[in-house]
Amino acid sequence: MEAESYKGYAIWGHAIFQDGAYAGSGTVTLQNRLIESSGILDSFDTEDNARLVGLEWARAWVDSHG
């Protein structure tokens, strides 16, 4: 998995398989340093949906804090 570049930040969407579903989360980094992470956002049926929600969270974080 590779980071997506967004407004100068590297953002990540994560999918963690647990309890029969994928937990989604997001991470924001800048110059290889952790800026913020979401924790678990929700559970999803697919890995792709979990990652997409994590990326959406990260973009929203950058838009409001970056």
Structural domain including 13 reads 4-65
| Count of H-run helices and E-run strands, the chain | 1, 5
Domain count, the chain: 1
pTM: 0.94
The stretches of the chain forming alpha helices (DSSP H) are 47-65
pLDDT band at 66 (very low <50, low <70, confident <90, very high): confident
pLDDT for the residue numbered 29: 98
**Per-residue pLDDT tens for 12-53?**
999 999 999 999 999 999 999 999 999 999 999 999 999 999
